[in-house]
Amino acid sequence: MYQVEVQVKTLTVPEWLEKYCQPEKFVPLCRECPQYGKNWSCPPGMTTAAALAGGYRYVQVIGLKVKYDEQVLREAEHSPQRTEELRQETYEAAKKKMLQALLALEREFPGSTTIMAGGCTLCRTCARAKGEPCRYPEKMRYSYSGLGFDLGRISDELLGMPLLWQKRGLPAYTVAIASFLHN
Ligand code: SF4
């Protein structure tokens, strides 16, 4: 159904924050997202990049490019519902594997942490939508975009994986950006 390509770049945390984090510009854009206020990994009220990353020296910026097979691209054009089903079976499935791999890496390097691509999808509906506490705080990781990073610039400049947008169906590929912070 799909193939993946991974790029990893290492930066110091101060350089990464200086070059790519602009919360004053990007966090307000989260208000347009359906997850806003309905997911514990997203704004409002979540931690800041400086608070989360300030104690770390190094960051691995990870780009996961999910390239869709021709058949998936054709099928995805049938209807918005089919597009979403296929997105769940491909891109979201690949993202879940990436989260599991990064959580395993955290266990190998105690004290390290992860920032994930997009809002947390561990539960079908986030407990925040019902006003309840997070069900899996030990596994939940904050959203990269919710922390105010310039993901377009990271994907272009750092990872060489420009983001693609498509009004109908799926684009040729989708990029998930995550990070692993450690000392
Ligand atoms: S683990 Fe569940 S409740 Fe917690 S942020 Fe993720 S989706 Fe929401």
Write the residue with the smallest CA distance to atom 4 of ligand 1. 134
The stretch 161-172 carries a mean pLDDT of: 94
Cβ-based neighbour number of residue 119 at 10 Å: 23
Confidence bin at 139 (pLDDT 50/70/90): very high
Residue 39 in contact with ligand 1 by CB distance below 6 A: yes
> At residue 111, does pLDDT exceed 90?
yes
CA distance 156 to 113: 24
Atom of ligand 1 nearest to the CA of 139: 1
The stretch 9-30 carries a mean pLDDT of: 97
Closest C-alpha among 126, 136, 117 to residue 180: 117
> Residue 166 has what pLDDT?
87
The stretch 167-175 carries a mean pLDDT of: 95
The stretch 44-70 carries a mean pLDDT of: 96
Report CA(11)–ligand 1 centroid distance (Å): 29
The stretch 136-142 carries a mean pLDDT of: 95
Strand order in the sheet with 2-12: 2-12, 58-68, 173-182, 113-115
Percent of the chain residues topping a pLDDT of 70: 100
> What mean pLDDT is reported for the chain?
96
> Residue 13 has what pLDDT?
98
Confidence bin at 167 (pLDDT 50/70/90): confident
Confidence bin at 93 (pLDDT 50/70/90): very high
> Residue 10 has what pLDDT?
98
Write the residue with the smallest CA distance to atom 3 of ligand 1. 134
**CA-based torsion, 159, 51, 139, 26: positive or negative:** negative
User: Within the chain, how many helices (H) and strands (E) appear?
Assistant: 7, 4
**Could you report the per-residue pLDDT of 80-90, keeping only the tens digit for each?**
999 999 999 99
